[in-house]
Amino acid sequence: MMSRLFTLSALAILATASPMPNTPAPQSCSTGPIQCCNQVTSASSSLASVLLGALGLVVQDLNLPVGIACAPITGIGLGSGSACSAITVCCEDNSVGSLISIGCIPIIL
């Protein structure tokens, strides 16, 4: 009887001493949804220059990081839309579509 009481007391102490965090990972940046991009490069790179030119976009800063082939990550931790096997980023401008996003900064989830 005494050993059961000791075991239950020990379990109760452990349960209160190490609570499970219940805070979900962020699902958006201040500029929109978190993106998963196949590549992040500067606007002056040859690939980014071609894409920006084809879309008629002009950027002032050629060192500006742009994401190429980006898709929003939805429901982090849930299902196939939550995984990113490339580069996870927050971008200033996602309005161009999935081909290119402008002003992308890599983040760690």
Q: What is the pLDDT along the chain (109 residues), one digit of tens a residue?
A: 444 433 334 333 333 343 334 434 455 688 778 889 999 999 999 999 999 999 999 888 999 999 999 988 876 554 445 568 889 999 988 888 788 999 999 988 7
Q: Running DSSP on this structure, what letter comes out for residue 32?
A: E
pLDDT of residue 81: 52
0.75 exceeded by pTM? no
The residues, any chain, with a CB within 8 Å of residue 31's CB and separated by 6 or more, are 90, 91, 92, 93, 94, 103
pLDDT of residue 2: 44
**Tokens of residue 99, six digits:** 């081909």
